[in-house]
Chains A and B, each alone.
Chain A
């Protein structure tokens, strides 16, 4: 697939259909790929890579890149196309300046899982069928691919691309993913247990903002947390409850627009399962307003930005005498 992608990119570049290509650049060890812009054929030949570690969602870079002169070619995995579609719906990307190629994906590997399974001193790593082989300072090690797949890939919601100009490989299907299983487990806990769970997880937060900066739904030119006048802009938790507020506020801000791409949890240096907060909101929206997944098509309006008579009213509306029970 990597070769096909490079050939296609080169062809489009040579025919001047696109001026730049956004993809992944090879690193030192095979797993440290960097999202990158390629502007020459030589660069593509020498450094473009598509492997089991290309987990990054490239759609966010299009917010900036689609504003530049000339078309940009982007490679999107199925989950990335959800973010691409959502950003198009929000008018954050100039559609005419983007040529999107959908690429297949059978899950990406989480290098942390490899490390925790005994992968120390890795100097090179590759997949071969259902095995992952790592060359390390301490000898060769093998891993079962299923054991080291990213958490989010284990509940992949779809192998079907949503929006694209061209498709490489076979078209996939929407899957029955069980992605709300962990959310249900949390909902079944008592309030105290749940509070303890989140306080424990969020106590490790260092307010690095990686989750916010990588999130395709967070594209505000000036984030409320960077604005001194907002009252929530302290960089470090001035009191420990504040770090929890950051995540709760952010979850609210992206509710109804989160495409469940899982990037927030992937990039968190402290491995906080932030995607669970966002999945809870998606589950709630499904239950309150009907099934809705942001980015799954170009037409459906988000329930949080539209209104029907049948909508649930917040309880305060009922208490004050309005709503269905009035």
Chain B
């Protein structure tokens, strides 16, 4: 297997950054990790995962869709789309990589969302295998192998090296470009790490939750369950879970008058917000119970029903860590999944 000495990691980034933009997880001033652009002096974070997920790269929090110019009664549409530059995302964990295929099912379904597609086509994903999962992780529940993440290049970090394996042509090209820094090494150490990590993954408290009840045919029974009242009670309706979640993709489209023209932009929205389904006539989801229920029914029942059983969750555990009142999808699965 090709490998890179960790002492040469900065040289590696510098080399790749000569051709394309490089993003990697970096510790920020709050002590947590977030994706930042590589530049001289930046250090690759040792955190398990970033606070915000990698969906930001393809589905940014705010994105300009088009501009309008008005004069008198006439309206002109200005297509502001530009071809994106190539960019490399380094250090994406298996859960976040898996979230990309879930987002693809929404944005690349007909009619294709060209904004998303453009970003997706220009990205090279270097994923990083996990060796020390958190107790809040539960990716094994969805068949995701944290020790063998997908992506254009898969990487494994050992004590003094990073091992690479190309999975796509883009990955091959990148490895070729960096070849002077890489060496052919014995890959056995990676297999040992994988075996050790797999044992830990087996022991994760939520790796074996029972999802069997979450099927389309049980839709009405789950929807009408009396357990939603208690589950949604403490929910603040803040939207933190939707914003840190790698698979949540609801958005709003708004216009912004700049003073010389109008920008139409898209921004993240949350089905947990009270105004989400408000219409001129009524609001079908008047209390937090309906909204709370919608989010989890969508992830666990509606989405898989429309997408060959793929759940709208990758087990990254961010909602477990970040919810201000410690409500999360695991508690929902446990309460509703039991007979």
Contact = CB atoms under 8 A, between A and B. Distances in A.
A and B touch in the complex (CB under 8 A): yes
Interface of A: 27-29, 32-37, 56, 61, 116, 120-123, 136-138, 200-201, 204, 206-210, 212-214, 226, 234-238, 263, 266-267, 269-272
Nearest to B205: A123
Given A235-B252, A235-B273, A266-B324, 14 more contacts: A34-B325, A34-B331, A37-B230, A137-B135, A137-B200, A137-B203, A201-B29, A208-B238, A213-B237, A214-B236, A226-B274, A226-B275, A238-B256, A271-B32
A204 B34 contact: yes
B230 A213 contact: no
B254 interface: yes
Contact of A235 (B52, B203, B269): B269
Interface string B262-291: 010101110001110000000000000000
Contacts, number: 119
A34 B234 contact: yes
B294 interface: no
A206 B52 contact: yes
A209 B241 CA distance: 11
A106 to B, nearest CB: 22
Query: Interface size class for chain B?
Result: 35 or more
Interface in B316-335: 320, 322, 324-328, 330-331
Interface of B: 28-32, 34, 48, 51-52, 61-62, 132-135, 200, 203-206, 230, 233-234, 236-240, 243-244, 252, 254, 256, 263, 265, 267-269, 273-275, 320, 322, 324-328, 330-331
B243 A208 contact: yes
Contacts of B256: 234, 238
Given A121-B132, A271-B32, A236 B268 contact: yes
Across the A-B interface, give the 4 residue pairs with the lowest CB-CB distance, nearest first: A236-B267, A267-B324, A271-B30, A32-B326
A12 B8 CA distance: 67
Contacts of B327: 34
A122 B32 contact: no
Nearest to B239: A208
A121 B331 CA distance: 18
